[in-house]
């Protein structure tokens, strides 16, 4: 029987020049539910589909605030994301303490990039099994970054990672030119429409399974710029967002939790 | 001849005799700065309408000896801020090298993204002050202080003039006008006549502020025995830093000295 001899560790190249462990880690990202991120001139938003392991369980969180000016969306192993998230929180806090300012998003992303890359070059280590979308604002405005387990990071205008994210990316590519001038709510609507593209048949966005995260730059009273802190919207808070992108015929149906069981209604 | 690798590159014992290790003792108590050695005297700074002015003379004293008369005690940071150093000159040189390193790291940050955004996103004077504050306080807690009092001049995140101070104990504060060392007693009262409050400072023109600083430098030269009539002056505005390092005190009048017994070289 054929067996791959070159995927036992992340330090061995295959004869074709591939490192299988790193590629497998990238597969773990594709197992996670889809997350979408978009940046405009004023805002960066993250939207995500949450999954529950079984009907009786709660939904796994997908969006995490890192600091006032940064948040992440995760696809892949949540426990690995926890490590990266804690690291990012510490770096942001340390930067705020030593310099008295928000950490520049690019330097933060570069740090997790370097951290993840090390894991792909040492025997006995494994790559992180999680991909991230990092949304944040700094002195240079809003940013969206993609992070992959290989250590690759890249700034994006809009992107989607996770299961069936290709459909969401197709939507984003089609509407690419519109994003830069979008306001906050328009941006979320684009994000949710992209999410919808990735949904399987008979599934739809509900207040249970949808998360929205927004960060932006606003104007202070004296005309200077002010950070609109990263905030995650869950549950009933996302209702208005979902309704704003509901197909006309389904607009009324949103009130009842679509596709949910009676158990979920109980705790309301 | 001794061919062992341990002896490579070392003075030959048969030529120079055995090395006397008592000159370089690794044992014994760790020694740290107990008092400054070569010192710079006052640094003064005042805010005005569009920026901040900083001045310090060009003298480094060795005790009461005027040892070095061309020492530049105002250092420019990233072309946007100025740091003025009072106190130990070797610690100043250490801090200067350290800040240069920081400036280089900061310029590399973001892979040249700063090119498109100008000064935006770089460390401003307020950030720099926070950093120096943490650095000085850390060293104080190590019981190995950097024996300086420094003034930081520049603009803050909102583009407003910023003037602040940190000393060897990590005490940090800001004010419309500041002076270190003897200047705190001799120059500060003069500057307060013109800029007692932020509002007063915001009414001062650049020419007025320069005149006040020149007047202060003159009084300092009259009454501070560790001072010099050659000084540096830096004007920081949103357009950058104008640093003049070879200024001469003009229109000195020592007539007042004749009235004072014990001042100067009278024999009676």
Confidence of residue A254 (pLDDT cuts 50, 70, 90): very low
Answer yes or no: is pLDDT of A101 > 50: yes
Residue A248's pLDDT band, with cuts at 50, 70 and 90, is low
Q: Which of A99, A100, A107 sits opposite B110 (nearest CB)?
A: A107
Q: Chain A: nearest CA to B2, how far in angstroms?
A: 41
Pick the catalytic residue from B33, B174, B180, B237. B33
Q: What pLDDT, on the 0 to 100 scale, is given for residue A253?
A: 47
Measured between CA atoms, the residue of chain B closest to residue A224 is: B158
pLDDT of residue B22: 78
Please indicate whether residue A28 or residue B9 has the higher confidence score (pLDDT): A28
Tell which residue, B75, B48, B73, has the closest CA to residue B60. Answer: B73
Q: Which residue of A has its CA nearest to B117?
A: A140
Could you give phi then psi for residue B56, rounded to 5 degrees? -155, 145
- pLDDT category of residue A263 using cuts at 50, 70 and 90: very low
Q: Say how far apart CA A19 and CA A177 lie, in whole Å.
A: 36
Considering only alpha carbons, which residue of chain A is nearest residue B110?
A: A106
Q: In this predicted structure, what is the pLDDT of residue B111?
A: 52
Name B157's Cβ contacts closer than 8 Å, sequence gap at least 6: A101, A139, A224, B124, B126, B127
The answer to whether the Cβ–Cβ distance between A138 and B117 falls below 8 Å is no
> Is B130 an active-site residue?
no
Closest Cβ–Cβ partner in A99, A106, A224 for B127: A99
- The string of pLDDT tens digits covering residues A68-90 is 999 999 999 999 999 999 999 99
Output the pLDDT for position B106. 87
Is residue B41 within 8 Å of residue B86, measured between CB atoms? yes
pLDDT score, position A264: 43
> What pLDDT, on the 0 to 100 scale, is given for residue A267?
43
Q: What is the ipTM of this complex?
A: 0.82
Contacts (Cβ under 8 Å, ≥6 apart) of A39 = A45, A135, A142, A143, A144, A156, A157, A158, A179
> What is the pLDDT, as a whole number, of residue B120?
66
Checking if the pLDDT of A104 tops 60, the result is yes
Q: How far is A29 from chain B (nearest CA, A)?
A: 26
B112-130 confidence digits (pLDDT tens) = 554 555 556 789 999 999 9
The 3 state secondary structure assigned to chain A is: CCCCCCCCCCCCCCCCCCCHHHHHHHHHHHHCCCEEEEECCCEEEEEEECCECCCCCCECCCEEEEECCEEEEEEECHHHHHHHHHHHHHHHHHHHHHHCCCCCHHHHHHHHHHHHHHCCCCCCCCCCCEEEEEEEEECCEEEEEEECCCCCEEECCEEEECCCHHHHHHHHHHCHHHHCCCCHHHHHHHHHHHHHHHCCCCCCCCCCCEEEEEEEEEECCCCCEEEEEEEEECHHHHHHHHHHCCCHHHCHHHHCCCCCCHHHHHCC
In chain B, residues with a C-beta closer than 8 Å to the C-beta of A107 are 109-110
Residues in chain B with pLDDT values less than 70: 110-120, 264-268
More confident residue, A247 or B220: B220
């Amino acid at each position: 029987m054929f067996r791959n001899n070159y995927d036992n560790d992340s330090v061995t190249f295959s004869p074709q020049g591939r490192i299988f462990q790193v590629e497998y880690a990238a597969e773990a990202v594709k197992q996670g539910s889809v997350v979408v991120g978009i940046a405009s001139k004023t805002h960066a938003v993250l939207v995500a589909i949450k999954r529950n392991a079984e009907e009786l369980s709660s939904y796994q969180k997908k969006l995490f605030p890192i600091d006032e000016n940064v948040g992440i969306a995760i696809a892949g192993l949540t426990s690995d994301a926890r490590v990266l998230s804690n690291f990012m929180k510490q770096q942001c806090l340390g930067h705020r303490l030593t310099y008295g300012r928000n950490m520049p998003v690019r330097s933060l992303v570069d740090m997790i990039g370097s951290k993840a890359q090390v894991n792909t070059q040492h025997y006995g280590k494994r790559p992180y099994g999680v991909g991230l979308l990092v949304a944040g604002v700094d002195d240079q405005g809003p940013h969206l970054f993609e992070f992959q387990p290989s250590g690759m990071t890249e700034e994006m205008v809009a992107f989607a990672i996770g299961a069936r994210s290709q459909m969401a990316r197709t939507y984003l590519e089609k509407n690419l030119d519109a994003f830069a001038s979008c306001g906050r709510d328009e941006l979320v609507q684009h994000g949710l429409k992209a999410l919808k593209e990735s949904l399987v048949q008979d599934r739809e966005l509900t207040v249970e399974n949808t998360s929205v995260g927004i960060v932006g730059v606003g104007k202070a009273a004296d005309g200077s710029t002010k950070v609109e802190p990263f905030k995650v919207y869950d549950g009933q808070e996302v209702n208005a967002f979902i309704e704003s992108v509901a197909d006309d015929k389904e607009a009324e149906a949103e009130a009842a939790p679509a596709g949910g069981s009676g158990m979920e209604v109980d705790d309301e | 001849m001794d061919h062992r690798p341990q002896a490579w590159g070392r003075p030959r014992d048969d030529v120079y005799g055995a090395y006397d290790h008592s000159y370089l003792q690794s044992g014994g108590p760790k020694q740290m700065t107990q008092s400054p050695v070569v010192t710079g005297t006052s640094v003064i700074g005042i805010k005005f309408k569009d920026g901040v002015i900083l001045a310090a003379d060009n003298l480094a004293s060795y005790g009461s000896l005027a040892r070095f008369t061309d020492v530049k005690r105002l250092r420019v940071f990233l072309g946007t801020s100025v740091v003025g150093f009072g106190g130990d000159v070797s610690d100043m040189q250490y801090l200067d090298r350290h800040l240069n390193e920081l400036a280089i790291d900061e310029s590399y940050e973001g892979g040249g993204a700063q090119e498109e955004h100008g000064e935006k996103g770089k460390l401003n004077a307020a950030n720099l002050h926070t950093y120096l504050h943490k650095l000085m306080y850390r060293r104080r807690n190590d019981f190995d202080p950097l024996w300086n009092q420094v003034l930081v001049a520049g603009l803050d995140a909102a583009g407003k003039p910023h003037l602040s101070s940190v000393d060897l104990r990590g005490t940090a504060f800001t004010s419309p006008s500041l002076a270190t060392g003897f200047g705190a007693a001799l120059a500060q009262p003069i500057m307060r006549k013109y800029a007692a409050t932020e509002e007063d400072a915001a009414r001062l023109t650049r020419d007025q502020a320069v005149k006040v600083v020149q007047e202060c430098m003159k009084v300092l030269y009259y009454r501070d025995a560790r001072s010099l009539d050659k000084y540096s002056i830096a004007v920081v505005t949103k357009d950058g830093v104008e640093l003049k390092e070879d200024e001469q005190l003009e229109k000195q009048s020592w007539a007042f000295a004749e009235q004072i017994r014990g001042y100067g070289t009278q024999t009676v």
